[in-house]
Amino acid sequence: MLIWVPDSISQAAINRTVRAIHAVFDAHGQPLHLGAAPTVDTPRLRAAYRSYQALADLSQEAMALVKTSSAQAFCASLIDAPARAADLSNLRLLHRGRFYRRGVDVYPQLLAAASPKA
């Protein structure tokens, strides 16, 4: 999903924040894709969900500027019209909590591999 953020927030910062949110969901046994509100209510989970929703809400800003929040549709539009007038430096990708390899969502394994071991 494309989002529009202040230019002081890097893509790396977005990635780390979303990975931390996904780690909280994983620790509580909740789906990482955040397609619905959590079924368990804890302060950490509630805060993580609200944080992700705040980031996801920034897709409306991206939609207003580039007419889509889909990275795939946006890339296709750049191929058709590469000389866009808008400054796109504040456009970022928001990870949706899924990563498919050969039809299987491997994101939970990737998240576990990237998490620090206790």
> At residue 78, does pLDDT exceed 90?
no
Assign 52 a pLDDT band (cuts: 50, 70, 90). very high
Instruction: Indicate the DSSP class of residue 36.
Output: S
How far apart (Å, rounded) are the C-alpha atoms in residues 28 and 62? 31
Q: Which token pair is 15?
A: 């990635």
| Mean pLDDT to the nearest integer, 73-86 | 67
Beta-carbon count within 10 A of 33 CB? 14
Q: What is the pLDDT of residue 117?
A: 63
> At residue 62, does pLDDT exceed 60?
yes
Instruction: Indicate the DSSP class of residue 9.
Output: S
